[in-house]
Structure 1
Amino acid sequence: MDSMIIPFIMLLIITVVLILERTYNEKKIVDIYEDKFLQWKKHATLNNKEKNCKQLVGLVFLENEKLTIDVLDKKAEDRLQKKQYTLKMKN
């Protein structure tokens, strides 16, 4: 019986050491990947494409065979005075 106690204790010690080493290495690997993920988030470029939406800047009325434009935005008024606009016909 005494002859089996020493190998059993050795196996128990080896098992405990291997379990502790595994948990240590797992934590180390998780920390490395978390650091890499944080670095990736810093250096990653986000592809935020802004959509060009139509914006209401004025109203066009036909009164007594004459076109009247009511401008709601000052920037649009400058463009109208500089004749920077296009006409689109919709049926």
Structure 2
Amino acid sequence: MGLDLLIPFGILIVLVIYLIYTRTKFEKDMLNLYEKKFEEWKEQNPTSNETKPHKDFVGLVFKEDYKISIEIFDNSIEDRLKRGKFDIICKE
């Protein structure tokens, strides 16, 4: 009685192992294909890591009679203002 169920169970085990093997092979092939396509894309579309200098809005300058006051929005600028590390640009 145990022998008649052993043959279908063995066929089932072999089939499952075969399907697992073919799926793993397929996934590996697809991964290699996508990596190859990605390398081709990187060669055709080079990226530049250059950062362009940009201006950030960090505060306002007010003139009240003879006194100038600076109102800042970013506290990381405060130490540079206290040390005098800034440029004055006059645009008229």
Q: What are structure 1's unaligned runs of at least 5 residues? A: 53-88
Q: Partner residue of 2:3?
A: 2
Q: Partner residue of 1:38?
A: 39
Q: TM-score normalised to the size of structure 1?
A: 0.51
- CA RMSD across the alignment: 2.7
The structure having more radius of gyration, on CA atoms, is 1
Report percent identity of matched pairs.
35
TM-fit CA distance, 1:32: 0.1
In the alignment of these two chains, the number of paired residues is 56
Which AA in structure 2 matches 1:40? Answer: W
Q: What are structure 2's unaligned runs of at least 5 residues? A: 54-89
Q: Partner residue of 1:13?
A: 14
Distance, in Å, in 2 between the alignment partners of 1:12 and 1:27 is 23
TM-fit CA distance, 1:39: 0.2
> Mapping of 1:60-79 within 5 angstroms?
none
Distance, in Å, in 2 between the alignment partners of 1:46 and 1:15 is 45
Q: Summarize deviations over 1:17-56 as a string: whole Å, max 9, x none.
A: 001111100000000000000000000144678859xxxx
Q: TM-score normalised to the size of structure 2?
A: 0.51
